[in-house]
Each structure stands twice: as C-alpha cells, then as structure tokens.
Amino acid sequence: MITKETIRDVIADQLKTFHKGKTVEREIVLPEKTNRIIVISGIRRCGKSTLIKQKYLKQDNALYINFEDPRLVGFDLNDFGRLEDILNKENKEWLLLDEIQVVDKWELYVRSAHERNIHVVVSGSNASMLSKELGTKLTGRYLQKDLFPFNYNEFLAFVDKKPSVESFMGFFEKGGFPEFLEEPDADYHRTLLRDIVVRDIAVRRNLPNENQLLRLVVHFLSNIGKEFSYNKLSNALEIKSVRTIINYCDYLVESYLIDLIPMFSWSLKKQTANAKKVYAIDAAFAVSNSLSFSKDLGRRLENIVYNKLRAEGKDVYYFKDKRNECDFVVNTNGEISETIQVCWEMNADNIDREIQGLRAAMKETKSPGGSILTLNQEDNFDGIPVIPVWKWL
C-alpha cells in the first residue's frame, strides 16, 4: 500500500520538473477532447512524458504521475483509489498515468475510471504489454498513438537551425533522442540500450540469459537495411532454438528498438516466408551500439528515410527479384502509393543499378511514382526525380 501523502508528494515533486529543460512542440496530434482513453506508446526517453505534460498540464486541469518513481514501488490496484481522491480534491478532470505498464492490472482501474467519465491518458514503453491489456479490457475505448524520437523538423526546432544539408548532417550524426541532443554523452545510447533490454524485456519476461538478447540486438544494429533469416541468425549467434530467436525478435520490436519489414509480394504467404530487413528506431542510436554500421553512410540514410515512413503510419516493404532491388515500396491506405530508392550519392558506378531497380519495383508493384533520395543531389533522369533527403524530410 502507498499512502495518500506519499502519492501527493510524488505528484508535487514531479510537477516541479515540468518547465525544466528545453522542449519543442511535437508533430504528433493529440485530441483536446475525446471520450476515449488516450494511449501513447514509444521507446524509452523519446519524450512521452514531456509530450503529455505539454499537452494537458498547461491547461491546469490534469493530474500527472509517473509510476517509475522509486517511491511508488509496490503501487497496486487498490492505490488508484487514493490517487483518484487527490484528483477529485484538486478538482481535476484529466488523469495522466505515465509508464503505466509497471502497475499490475492497471487496465482494470483505467476501464473503471473511463466508465465514470474521468479523462485518462496512459503511456508506456512496451507495445506488447500495452496492447495485450488494451485488447482484452479496453476494446473500442481507446485511441493509441506511437511517439518516436525527434524527426528532422523537430530536431531543427530543438537546435534552432534552418533546413540545409549542414543541419541535416547534425541530425544524421546525433539522431533524435532529446536528452542526448541537450547533453551529448558517448555512453548515452549504450546505457539506454542496456536499460531497455534488461528492464523492459529480460526482467519483465523472466528471461534467463539477457546476454543472448544483447548479442542479437547488437547484431541487428550492426546490419541495418540487410536481409536476415531466423535460421541463419540461430547458427551465427549460437542460439540453438529458432523459436527463441523469433521470440527475441518480437520482444525487440515490441520495445521499439527495431522494426522488421517484409519483401514485397502480392502473396501474403510469400511475404511471410521470405527474408526480412531490419531497421533501428534511430540511426545514430544504431551507430553507437554497432560493431560496423557506422561506416555505411547509405544504410544510415536509408534508416532515416524508413523512420519517416513508419512515423507516418505507412506499410513499407522492400523489393527484390532475380536481378533488381529497391529499398522501399510504400503502401498507403491499402494501395501502393510510391517506390523509393535511397543512396548516399548517384555516380557512374551505381546510377544504372539504382534506376533499374526502381523501375523494376514500379512495374511489379504498379506504383504510380518513384523517386531516388540522396544526401544532396537534385536531378531528374527520364522522369525519375532525384531529391536531397533533407528536402524530402
């Protein structure tokens, strides 16, 4: 049991940090008014807490509490009653429950509060743990939004720069984690990775060997944009069970560390059977935790492009046939909307390969358009636009 006095102290202390540090408006759209529970999920340290505070505390009509405060260890279902007493006494309408996944059976209280017309916002760092509870207890009652590290526009606002190839290179090298941008530290990304693997995955799922999981994620972060198969991973990492590899991949995706995209096929069965490609939540984060990825500028650029498409809610595939490859086939609202090829620069060595791969993908997917994104080239090759990626972003 957590006393009401302790809960009140935690709320007061956490409120004091509201205006500390530099903040920017995020591009994610959250409703001012809604009859549904608002759920915000995303990787640790991407800015969920700040977003919630920015959006709802400034109206002085909400109560905010982050459950990762050590004073709240042991907070359980019965303690929500004391929290709600404080909400009512202060005459607030919104209840902001941050990192809610640490509280067992939280969804039972949230559903009850929602039925009593309390406006509830919850956030968490694990998509699976949130979706499992949401799907079983809150079906049809919630609106879910994913938050990611800063995109290029948000980065520009945070560092007070204008769009240019120079400012893009700052984004390329530093990435989008707000705390890292405010105070760069060589160990920040590595510490964050270990925290997520240990706290959000290994501890919560009672995994006996967190080192296996760390080896797997480091392998992925060192091979961004490359195809992989579960069987080959099992052999390469000396993890005997392919099922274990598959489960580990699911856990890494659920914690937002990586994302996997399938090869394009009109057959769903072939999509499932073919090798997948892996991308990181943040390209600079991948570099910091990589064994070799940092030198491959083209794949880092590719990762940034993928993250933009992902944040827009697009379904993305890669294209490959016997002779050609194309980085991205984009599905928007159930229809193929575009194909995209990404390379650091177009030159005599790659121009034919890049264009032929794009055209082959456009023909097979019946895509209405295609483009090539590079660092800073702008051109047109027989109707194929070449666009600087910083302008496209």
Looking at the domain assignment, is residue 124 inside a domain? yes
Q: Look at residue 175 and tell me if it is in a domain.
A: no
| Residue 351 structural domain | 296-393
End-to-end C-alpha distance for the chain, whole angstroms:
49
Report, as an integer, the average pLDDT of 32-39.
90
Strand-pair partners of 336: 331
Residues 212, 193 within the same domain: yes
**Band of the pLDDT at 300, cuts 50, 70, 90?**
very high
Shared domain for 44 and 71, answered yes or no, is yes
Torsion of CA 195, 200, 201, 202, to 10 degrees: 60
Q: Domain holding 214: CATH number?
A: 1.10.10.10
How high is the mean pLDDT of the chain? 94
* Calculated CA dihedral for residues 195, 200, 206, 209, nearest 10 degrees: -40
- Say if 47 falls within a structural domain: yes
Whole-number Å distance between alpha carbons of 70 and 47: 20
Asked whether residue 262 falls in the same domain as residue 313, the answer is: no
User: 């769009």: which residue's tokens?
Assistant: 163
Residue 388 sits in a domain whose CATH number is: 3.40.1350
Which residue did the predictor score with more confidence, 153 or 31? 153
Residue 131 and residue 13 share a domain? yes
Q: How many domains are there within the chain?
A: 3
Q: Give the DSSP H or E segment for 133.
A: helix 127-137
> 168 in a domain, yes or no?
no
CA 342/CA 386 separation, integer angstroms? 10
For residue range 200-214, what is the model confidence (pLDDT) as tens digits?
A: 899 989 998 899 999
How do residues 8-23 score in pLDDT, each as one tens digit?
A: 999 999 998 876 678 8
Q: For the chain, what percent of residues have pLDDT higher than 70?
A: 98
Q: What is the spatial distance between Cα 381 and Cα 292, in angstroms, rounded to a whole number? A: 33
Q: Is residue 173 part of a domain?
A: no
C-alpha–C-alpha distance, residues 354 and 350, integer Å: 6
The CATH number given to whatever domain includes residue 51 is 3.40.50
The distance between the two most distant Cα atoms of the chain, rounded to a whole number of Å, is 71
Secondary structure letter of residue 339 according to DSSP: E
Q: Which residues contact 27 (CB under 8 A, 6 or more apart)?
A: 151, 153, 154
> Which pLDDT belongs to residue 128?
65
CA 216/CA 210 separation, integer angstroms: 10
115 and 195 together in one domain:
no
Cβ–Cβ < 8 Å for 35, 138? no
Q: Tens of pLDDT along 327-346?
A: 999 999 999 999 999 999 99
Q: Are residues 254 and 352 in the same domain?
A: no
pTM for the full predicted model: 0.95
Domain shared by 92 and 109, yes or no = yes
The amino acid at 29: V
Q: Are residues 283 and 319 in the same domain?
A: no
pLDDT > 70? residue 44: yes
Model confidence pLDDT, tens digit, residues 124-138:
988 766 776 676 777
Do residues 126 and 251 share a domain?
A: no
In this structure, are 136 and 210 located in the same domain? no
Q: Is residue 313 located within the same domain as residue 242?
A: no
